[in-house]
């Protein structure tokens, strides 16, 4: 049947809808700047960078390994289960299996994820394991949510099959197993293949369940992307998406070329002819074709896995857990500090070390993972208040500063800060100050200078606020001159009132989204971390003029390297810390992250000062000398769980108004 014009238009509309964002990704993967809203110049650099980015390639490999393993195992187990369920005689048993099979489909991802996480963590604690989550827990989770899709694809095919078929085969002398493979499998193969493909697709794209069940040493692509939410999602990901798109498209075209005549009528005609000649009907054709497609996809996947896998595995492994996009990784001709460390270590000590570098999106995410005992890392880089909390809960190991001679270069302003008064646990990595970023083309000069700008009704709909409770409440509390660390509910209530009053003026509550919104002029006012302002300037659109000031008082923060309890290689972690403090990697990291460095080797380095420029140096390092006073006065402190829960409740209140 031919398509009518109206049908054609409608189909085109649906495809426009489905493919619009993909076209956007495709276009912006060729953008020279980092922005996803302002196209500056065409460039292939993100593709080059993608292939140099070992961590992303490993995440891709992990994603594929997981998807292939989970889909194959769930297909085998699911097919066997379908056969078993089909042969059940008792009605109530059948109904019971039906219900159980439907549970993972009827339950939202988030419940499946949480329920498995709770169980794994509980079992891990029961057996006193240092880590309860790993590749295996993720694999179990993926198989579990793929199984029902396989079963529900295969079962109907079994029901459609002539029940006499296997019996006939057995009567003809086949063993039951042989009868199954010779007579039944060809009949139900289309269902098996569809089930396999569905399982593969679901596993590949799953984020929620992986988020709750991921362990260390195994991070998948969706999780890596999610963890980029404090900094910005790198365009390498758009490049990767574009490549995936074209690979699939090529496969599709290829299989269509191979298979020229496929119309149902021709097949029927052929079948009739065969029947007329007294031959059995042939159904292998379409099966063969589907098998070829599946084989091609699986084969290609395995080749990709193998190609990426050549670089692994190495004997000693150091597990590092850091914020997303928070280390110089070799992109845009920077130094890949992790790779440099691995090389340096090999030359220095004569045997190889492998750094497993994984990322988190927030202090709280990291804490939740570590606290549950689900993971174990050798090095983490939390912020001040979280360090205080972890120290108070005995989650940190005292450092052996003898292994970290470069600690001498850390400026005195950053020693003995409240979160580590006796310098036992930490080596500062970066520090910063929250300031207000505004678009000078949209904001009048007389309104500048204080926190009031973020409450100025003149700019309703152009103001961005933090999408994390601590920083958002912070803006309101600094503005009111309140203590950001109070346990007095009334003070927090007052801050909530201020935020609720601001809510109608706020365009968006943001983390990483701030970059695109400020760069494109979509928003005019935002509070964020000073260093990120410079990242935005680099990509700002022509009609946008981003400027910056520090309101008073404001937040001061330090992110520091520490070693959590349960680490496997303390000394190696200390050597890593020391290396990261040495001049070349420290400068590279500071230039990449754009945050201020507490390391004299960095902020006194001529090249670094040149690279940053006078204005940047002035803004970033304005508070270096009296930092410890300001920090101890205004920084966030660890709050007790009762207050934290109270703030979280208030935050929810804000989000329902």
Partner 1 sequence: MKRRGDLAARWSLAPYSVWALLFILVPLVFVAYYAFTDTDMHFTFDNIRKFFTATSTVTGDNGETLQVRTYMVIFWRSVKLAVISTVVCLLMGYPIAYIIARATPKVQKTVITLIMIPMWMNFLIRTYAWMTILQDTGILNNFLASLHLGRMHIIGTESAVVIGMVYDYLPYMILPIYSIMAKLDLKLLEAAHDLGCNGISTLRRVVFPLSLPGVVSGVTMVLIPSISTFYISQKLGNGKFFLIGDAIEGQYVANNLHFAAAIAFILMVILLIAMALMKRYTDKSVAGGV
Contact, 53 vs 331, CB < 8 A? yes
Three-class SS of residue 233?
coil
- x-or-dash pattern for partner 1, window 304-343, by CB under 8 A? ----------------------------------------
Instruction: Give the residue ranges of DSSP H helices in 214-330.
Output: 221-226, 236-258, 264-276, 284-309
Residue from 46, 47, 212, 345 touching partner 1 (CB under 8 A): that is 212
Both tokens of residue 652?
Answer: 């929810």
Residue 118 CA: distances (Å) to CA of 113, 141, 372, 487: 9, 12, 9, 30
Interface residue with partner 1 among 238, 459, 528, 579 (CB under 8 A) is 238
Site string for partner 1, 34-73 (x = CB under 8 A): --xx------------------------------------
User: Which is closer to partner 1, CB of 39 or CB of 621?
Assistant: 39
Candidates 19-27, 400-408, 552-560, 594-602: pick the segment binding partner 1 (CB under 8 A): 19-27
C-alpha to C-alpha distance for 45 and 259, rounded to whole angstroms:
37
How far apart are CB 514 and partner 1 at their closest, in Å?
A: 11
- What is the DSSP track for 17-56? HHHHHHHHHHHHTTBSSS-SS----B--HHHHHHHH-HHH
CA distance 640 to 632: 18
Minimum Å gap between C-beta 150 and partner 1 is 10
28: nearest Cα among 519, 462, 528: 519
Residue 18 or 276 having the CB closest to partner 1: 18
* The one segment of 151-159, 379-387, 406-414, 614-622 that binds partner 1 by CB under 8 A: 151-159
Please state the closest distance from residue 131 (CB atom) to partner 1, in A: 17
In terms of Cα–Cα distance, which of 71, 101, 291 is closest to 185? Answer: 291
Binding part of the chain for partner 1, among 173-181, 401-409, 439-447, 616-624 by CB under 8 A, reads 173-181
Are the C-beta atoms of residues 340 and 585 closer than 8 Å to each other? Answer: yes
- Give the whole-angstrom CA distance, residue 342 versus residue 331: 17
Residue pair 463/522 in contact (Cβ under 8 Å)? The answer is no
**Which listed range, 256-264, 380-388, 447-455, 577-585, lies at the site for partner 1 (CB under 8 A)?**
256-264
CA distance 70 to 141: 9
Taking the CA of residue 471 as centre, how many other CA atoms within 13 Å lie in the half-sphere pointing to its CB? 23
Cα separation of 223 and 227, whole Å? 6
For helices 54-87 and 91-106, the axis angle rounded to 10 degrees is: 160
Closest approach of partner 1 to the CB of residue 648, in Å: 4
CB nearer to partner 1: give 404 or 523.
Answer: 523
Query: 519-558: which residues touch partner 1 (CB under 8 A)?
Result: 520-522
Nearer to partner 1, 301 or 589 (CB): 301
C-alpha 223/C-alpha 212 separation (Å) is 10
Question: How far does Cα 385 stand from its chain's mean position?
Answer: 24
388 binds partner 1 (CB under 8 A): no
| Residue 129 C-beta: closest distance to partner 1, Å | 17
Based on CB atoms, which residue is closest to partner 1, 183 or 338? 183
Q: Which is nearer to partner 1, 118 or 307 (CB)?
A: 118
CB of 27: closest distance to partner 1 in angstroms? Answer: 10
**Gap between the Cα atoms of 564 and 559, Å rounded:** 15
Instruction: Return the number of the residue (17 or 127) whose C-beta is nearest partner 1.
Output: 17
CB of 52 to partner 1, least distance (A): 20
Of 461-500, binders to partner 1 (CB under 8 A) are 467, 500
Whole-angstrom Cα distance, residue 422 to residue 251? 61
Give the nearest distance from C-beta 523 to partner 1 in angstroms. Answer: 9
The CB-of-193 to partner 1 minimum distance in angstroms stands at 13
Residue 53 in tokens:
């980015």
Q: Are strands 525-529 and 463-466 parallel, antiparallel or unpaired?
A: parallel
425 binds partner 1 (CB under 8 A): no
Q: How many residues bind to partner 1 according to rule CB under 8 A?
A: 122
- Selected from 209, 436, 463, 517, the binder of partner 1 by CB under 8 A is 517
Site for partner 1 contains 164 (CB under 8 A): no
How far apart are the C-alpha atoms of 353 and 214, rounded to whole Å? Answer: 23
Q: Write the CA distances from 80 to 147, 186, 261, 294, integer angstroms.
A: 11, 14, 34, 20
Site for partner 1 in 439-468 (CB under 8 A): 467
Residue 180 binds partner 1, judged by CB under 8 A: yes
Which residue lies nearer to partner 1 by CB, 263 or 277? 263
The three-state secondary structure class of 442 is coil
Q: From 439-447, 583-591, 594-602, 645-653, give the range in contact with partner 1 by CB under 8 A.
A: 645-653
Query: Measured from the CB atom, is 249 or 275 closer to partner 1?
Result: 249
Q: Which of 31, 153, 214, 616 binds partner 1 (CB under 8 A)?
A: 153
Among 105, 250, 258, 275, binds partner 1 (CB under 8 A): 105
Measure the CA–CA gap between 594 and 611, rounded to whole angstroms. 11
**Pick 98 or 629: Cβ nearer partner 1:** 98
CA distances from 178 to 108, 158, 182, 281, 409 (A): 39, 17, 6, 21, 73
Residues 110-129 within binding reach of partner 1 (CB under 8 A): 110-112, 114-116, 118-119, 122
Binding mask 593-632 for partner 1 (x = CB under 8 A): ----------------------------------------
Q: Stretches 77-85, 300-308, 348-356, 442-450: which one binds partner 1 (CB under 8 A)?
A: 77-85
- In contact, 488 and 534? CB cutoff 8 Å: no
| Coil vs helix vs strand at 614 | helix
Beta bridge partners of 379: 320
Query: To which H or E segment does residue 169 belong?
Result: helix 164-171
Q: Residue 235 or residue 585: which is nearer to partner 1 going by CB?
A: 235
Give 252 or 303: the residue with its C-beta nearer to partner 1: 252
CA-CA distance, 20 to 425, in Å (whole number)? 50
Window 186 to 205, contacts with partner 1 (CB under 8 A): 201, 204-205
Closest contact distance (angstroms) between CB of 18 and partner 1 is 5
Kindly state the smallest distance separating residue 142's Cβ from partner 1, in Å.
Answer: 11
Nearer to partner 1, 22 or 346 (CB): 22
Q: Which of 263, 481, 490, 542 binds partner 1 (CB under 8 A)?
A: 263
Closest distance between partner 1 and the C-beta of residue 120, in Å? 9
From candidates 48, 52, 69, 77, binder to partner 1 by CB under 8 A:
77
Structure tokens at 208: 């929620």
- For the chain, give the number of residues: 657
């Amino acid at each position: 049947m031919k398509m009518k014009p109206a049908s054609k238009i409608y189909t085109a509309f649906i495809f426009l809808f489905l493919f619009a964002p993909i076209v956007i990704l495709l276009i912006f993967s060729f953008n020279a700047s980092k922005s996803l809203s302002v196209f500056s110049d065409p460039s292939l650099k993100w593709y080059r960078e993608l292939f140099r980015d070992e961590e992303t390639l490993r995440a891709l490999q992990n994603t594929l390994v997981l998807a292939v393993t989970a889909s194959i195992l769930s297909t085998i187990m699911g097919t066997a289960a379908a056969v078993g369920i089909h042969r059940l005689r008792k009605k109530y048993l059948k109904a019971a299996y039906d219900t159980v099979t439907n549970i993972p489909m009827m339950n939202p991802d988030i419940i499946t994820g949480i329920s498995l996480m709770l169980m794994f963590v509980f079992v891990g604690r029961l057996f006193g394991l240092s880590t309860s989550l790993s590749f295996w827990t993720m694999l179990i989770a993926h198989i579990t949510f793929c199984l029902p899709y396989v079963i529900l694809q295969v079962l109907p095919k079994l029901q459609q099959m002539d029940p006499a078929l296997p019996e006939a085969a057995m009567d003809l002398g086949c063993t039951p197993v042989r009868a199954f493979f010779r007579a039944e499998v060809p009949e139900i193969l289309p269902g098996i293949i569809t089930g396999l493909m569905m399982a593969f697709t679901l596993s590949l794209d799953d984020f929620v369940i992986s988020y709750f069940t991921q362990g260390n040493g195994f991070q998948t692509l969706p999780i890596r992307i999610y963890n980029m939410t404090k900094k910005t999602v790198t365009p390498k990901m758009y490049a990767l998406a574009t490549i995936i798109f074209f690979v699939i498209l090529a496969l599709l075209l290829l299989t269509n070329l191979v298979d020229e005549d496929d119309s149902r009528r021709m097949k029927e005609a052929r079948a009739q002819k065969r029947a007329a000649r007294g031959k059995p009907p042939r159904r292998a054709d379409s099966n063969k074709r589907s098998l070829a497609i599946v084989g091609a996809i699986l084969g290609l996947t395995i080749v990709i896995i193998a190609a990426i896998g050549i670089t692994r595995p190495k004997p000693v492994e150091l597990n590092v857990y850091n914020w997303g996009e928070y280390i110089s990784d070799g992109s845009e001709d920077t130094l890949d500090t992790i790779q440099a460390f691995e090389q340096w270590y090999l030359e220095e000590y004569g045997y190889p070390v492998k750094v497993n570098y994984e990322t988190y999106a927030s202090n709280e995410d990291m804490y939740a993972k570590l606290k549950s005992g689900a993971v174990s890392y050798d090095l983490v880089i939390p912020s001040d208040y979280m360090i205080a909390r972890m120290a108070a809960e005995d989650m940190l190991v005292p450092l052996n500063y003898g292994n970290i001679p470069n600690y001498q270069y850390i400026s005195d302003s950053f020693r003995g800060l409240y979160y580590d008064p006796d310098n036992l646990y930490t080596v500062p990595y970066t520090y910063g100050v929250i300031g207000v970023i505004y678009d000078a083309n949209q904001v009048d000069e007389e309104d500048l200078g204080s926190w009031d700008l973020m409450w100025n009704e003149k700019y309703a709909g152009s103001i961005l606020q933090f999408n994390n409770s601590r920083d958002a409440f912070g803006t309101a509390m600094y503005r009111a001159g309140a203590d950001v660390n109070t346990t007095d509910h009334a003070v927090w209530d007052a801050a909530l009132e201020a935020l609720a009053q601001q809510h109608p003026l706020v365009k968006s509550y943001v983390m990483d989204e701030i970059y695109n919104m400020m760069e494109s002029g979509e928003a005019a006012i935002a509070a964020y971390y000073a260093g990120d302002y410079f990242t935005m300037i680099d990509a700002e659109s022509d009609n946008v003029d981003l400027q910056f000031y520090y309101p008073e008082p404001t937040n001061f923060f330090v992110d520091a390297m520490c070693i959590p309890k349960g680490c496997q290689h303390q000394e190696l972690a200390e050597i890593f810390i020391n290396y990261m403090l040495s001049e070349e990697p420290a400068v590279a990291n500071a230039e990449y992250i754009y945050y201020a460095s507490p390391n004299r080797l960095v902020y006194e380095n001529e090249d670094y000062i040149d690279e940053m420029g006078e204005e940047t140096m002035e803004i970033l390092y304005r508070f270096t000398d009296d930092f410890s006073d300001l920090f101890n006065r205004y920084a966030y402190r660890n709050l007790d769980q009762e207050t934290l829960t109270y703030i979280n409740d208030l935050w929810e209140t804000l989000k329902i108004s």
